Each structure stands twice: as C-alpha cells, then as structure tokens.
Amino acid sequence: MLNEPLLSFSHEIERQASSLSSALVLPEPNSKNFSFRLSRFPIDGTETIVDIHSSGERIFISVTRFLKSIRRHILETKTGELDCDIKLGVEISISECNYNEPILREILNSNIFDLTSDLSESIDDNHFFIFFTDSHNCISSGISNPYEKQEEHWIRILNRSYGAELTPPRRTFKGISTLK
C-alpha cells in the first residue's frame, strides 16, 4: 500500500480515480501525437475521466465513469492510503473520434499550456484536472469550482467534454476490482 501523507482531498480523489481508470496512452517523444486527460469530480453527479489521444492519423477517446462515488468511498474509509482493492462499479468505453469533435479544436487550437491552476483542498468543492502532452511539452493543471470563478478556458473545455463523452458506445463492468 502507498501512503503519502498531506495530500489534499482534491489530489487524493484524483490519485484514487486514476488508479481505477483506463490506462493513459502517452505518445512517443517528438512523435507529433498527443494525449489529453480530463478528470471531473463534481460534488453531485458522475465522476468521470475522459482520455483522448492520437496515433498517427487516428484519434481515440476513452471514457471512464465511476458508477459509485469515489468521493463517498474516500470519506467513508478515511484511511489516507491508496485503496488497491476498491470495489466500485466502473464503466470504460472506447472508440475512434472524429477530427471535427469540438473538444479537439479547444485543446489543439487554443493555448492549453496557459490553463490556470486554482485547486482548493475542500471536500465540498467540484474538482477538475487536466493532463496534456503534444509529445514535446506537457501540462498538468487542476481547478476547483471553475464555473463560480468564471475561468473561461476551463469552462469551454469542460462544456465540450460532456458532448465528447457521448462518442464511445457505453459498456458496463460492474463491481470489478481493477487492481489486486
């Protein structure tokens, strides 16, 4: 078991979710491919991770939905350790993505490397994380309550992500522990 004290709640929920989500596909250095991960942890609603990556001329999208709340699980267990035997329903959907997908225009044509980081440590906030690499540079950024803070760049990416996550057909794997 890993035990990293002093993690804020927002980082703890992101770390736990990443351990249960689909694998993040990273491009070879200087390959001109990209990889994007958006992790959404709202107070109410489905906690979701949206991954988009390119491989040559093709683009793929993967959506991980947590069918039970990771937030609630962390609050109920309160161990402070990464739970490697967590049994939450997870749904992972994968498909090819169209180049005209609005979120692609947002992440590839805007300056994603200028995203504001403004994460709170509060359990009672909505938390969002982005990781992006264009195979040359990368950014890891997080924000809490971007709609209240009127962070336009974050809001545009988040709004477009809700449409993008509908691209892959839904598949359900209930009650499977992905790590042993």
| Digit-coded pLDDT (tens) for 69-126 | 888 888 887 655 555 556 778 889 999 999 999 999 999 987 899 999 999 988 999 9
Query: Does the pLDDT at position 9 exceed 90?
Result: no
Handedness of CA 145, 147, 152, 156 (dihedral sign): positive
Instruction: Please report the pLDDT score of residue 4 as a whole number.
Output: 46
CATH number assigned to the domain covering 9-23+32-164: 3.30.1560
Q: What are 30's two structure tokens?
A: 């200087």
Instruction: Please report the pLDDT score of residue 172 as a whole number.
Output: 54
Instruction: Please report the pLDDT score of residue 83 as a whole number.
Output: 54
The pTM is what? 0.85
Q: Could you count the other beta carbons within 10 Å of the beta carbon of residue 115?
A: 19
Residue ranges per domain, the chain?
9-23+32-164
SS3 labels along 71-107: HHHHHHHCCCECCCCCCCCEEEEEEECCCCCHHHHHH
Query: Does the pLDDT at position 7 exceed 50?
Result: yes
